């Protein structure tokens, strides 16, 4: 089987198994890079790829200044690709099995301090849309992709609940909407463009506010607030840690943020043992 055909079958298998679209795209690009690399060496069939080829690919990525974390993710993709080919009976030996992951330090999640999230709120206070986005992410811990997909019908202002739809392999869930998030969202809806589009967050031209544009907007306010090294996902990290610090049961926090495994939530426990400082108070409401 050609590498190109195998690549296509692998992607189809990922989609059919319900993998998240972002995961499918990432795996697809990783394998595409490998296929391109070995094809330049004249190898077009799956059985021609060796462990030496994959290790050479690792070295090339390192010279191209990919981080150890990025290279490790690509190796995971490659290992999954060849495991798939073994399971399909295309290969009998896995050339990626003996390939080692690069060593790298895994940085802990970035948690915003009380001073930082206050500064972020102040920076975007004049922008009702971004202010609502920041507050919802900070007060619910939902993913940015989930927020981008929220529709007006998903928000129950009477019961103060936000319904998060099932997405790819993730299950649907409900999260409480506290006073702070409700106030910010209500303020935005009052100035939200009138449109048939039911997605909550819109551009000025009444189109859905896409994930990449949400990231760009919040990154801008991080800069205006003078907050360095922070990313949008840090709002979710901050929610998780502050919930745990406040004594919210681990299982419930895991359910709130939609973790598939409680072990994912448990990793945040080591971040709540820091001394009580400005950063270790529950996120206050507006």
What's the pLDDT tens digit per position in 162-183?
Answer: 999 987 778 899 999 999 999 9
Q: Is residue 103 part of a domain?
A: no
Q: Is residue 94 part of a domain?
A: no
Helices 128-140 + 179-191 axis angle, to 10: 150
Check pLDDT > 90 for residue 282.
no
Same domain for 243 and 131: yes
Residue 109's pLDDT band, with cuts at 50, 70 and 90, is: confident
User: Mean pLDDT over residues 100-107, rounded?
Assistant: 79
Neighbouring residues of 200: CB distance < 8 A, sequence distance ≥ 6: 150, 151, 152, 154, 155, 185, 189, 192
User: Mean pLDDT over residues 147-155, rounded?
Assistant: 95
Residue 21: CATH number of its domain: 1.10.150.130
Same domain for 150 and 71: no
Percentage of the chain modeled with pLDDT above 70: 94
Tokens read off for 264: 């994912």
User: Mean pLDDT over residues 151-158, rounded?
Assistant: 96
Per-residue pLDDT of 189-234, as tens digits, reads: 999 998 888 999 999 999 999 999 999 999 999 999 999 999 999 9
Q: Is residue 106 part of a domain?
A: no
Tokens read off for 96: 């990626």
Same domain for 50 and 122: no
Q: What is the number of structural domains in the chain?
A: 2
Q: Is residue 286 part of a domain?
A: no
Identify which has the larger pLDDT, 279 or 6: 6
Q: Is residue 206 part of a domain?
A: yes
Same domain for 251 and 118: yes
SS3 label, residue 161: strand
**Looking at 52, 87, 122, which one is the last position of a domain?**
87
Check pLDDT > 90 for residue 272.
no
Same domain for 144 and 70: no
Same domain for 72 and 128: no
* 161: β partners: 156, 176
Same domain for 269 and 165: yes
Same domain for 211 and 128: yes
Check pLDDT > 70 for residue 265.
yes
Per-residue pLDDT of 236-256, as tens digits, reads: 999 999 999 999 999 999 999
Average predicted confidence (pLDDT) for the chain:
91
Per-residue pLDDT at 279: 34
Structural domain containing residue 52:
3-87
Q: Is residue 99 part of a domain?
A: no
Output b/e per residue, 83-121; b: 16+ Cβ within 10 A.
Answer: ebbeeeeebeeebbeebeebeeeeeeeebbebebbebbb
Identify which has the larger pLDDT, 72 or 272: 72
Q: pTM for this one?
A: 0.71
User: Mean pLDDT over residues 137-159, rounded?
Assistant: 95
Whether 260 and 167 have beta carbons less than 8 Å apart is answered as: no
> What value, to the nearest 5°, has the Cα angle with vertex 246 and ends 241 and 252?
75
Same domain for 236 and 123: yes
Same domain for 60 and 149: no
Give the other-Cβ count within 10 Å of 37's Cβ: 17
Same domain for 248 and 134: yes
Q: Is residue 107 part of a domain?
A: no
């Amino acid at each position: 089987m050609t590498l190109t055909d195998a690549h296509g079958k692998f992607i189809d298998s990922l989609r059919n198994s319900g993998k998240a679209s972002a995961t499918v795209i990432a795996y697809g690009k990783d394998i595409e890079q490998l296929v391109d690399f070995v094809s330049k060496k004249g190898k077009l069939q799956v059985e021609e790829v060796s462990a030496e080829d994959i290790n050479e690919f690792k070295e090339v990525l390192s010279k191209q200044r990919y981080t150890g974390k990025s290279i490790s993710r690509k190796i995971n993709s490659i290992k999954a690709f060849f495991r798939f080919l073994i399971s399909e009976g295309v290969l009998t030996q896995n050339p990626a099995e003996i390939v080692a992951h690069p060593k790298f330090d895994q940085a802990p999640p970035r948690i915003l301090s009380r001073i930082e999230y206050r500064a972020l709120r102040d920076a975007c206070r004049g922008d009702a849309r971004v202010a609502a986005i920041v507050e919802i992410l900070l007060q619910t811990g939902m993913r940015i992709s989930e927020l981008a997909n929220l529709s007006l019908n998903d928000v129950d202002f009477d019961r103060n609940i936000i319904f998060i739809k099932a997405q790819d392999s993730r299950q649907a869930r409900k999260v409480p909407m506290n006073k702070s998030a409700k106030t910010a969202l209500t303020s935005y809806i009052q100035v939200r463009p009138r449109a048939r589009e039911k997605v909550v967050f819109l551009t000025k031209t009444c189109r859905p506010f896409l994930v990449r544009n949400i990231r760009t907007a919040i990154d801008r306010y991080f800069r205006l607030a003078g907050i360095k090294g922070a990313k949008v996902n840090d709002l979710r990290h901050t929610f998780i840690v502050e919930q745990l610090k406040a004594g919210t049961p681990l299982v419930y926090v895991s359910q709130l943020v939609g973790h598939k495994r409680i072990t994912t939530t448990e990793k945040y426990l080591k971040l709540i043992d820091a001394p009580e400082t400005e950063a270790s108070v529950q996120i206050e409401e507006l």
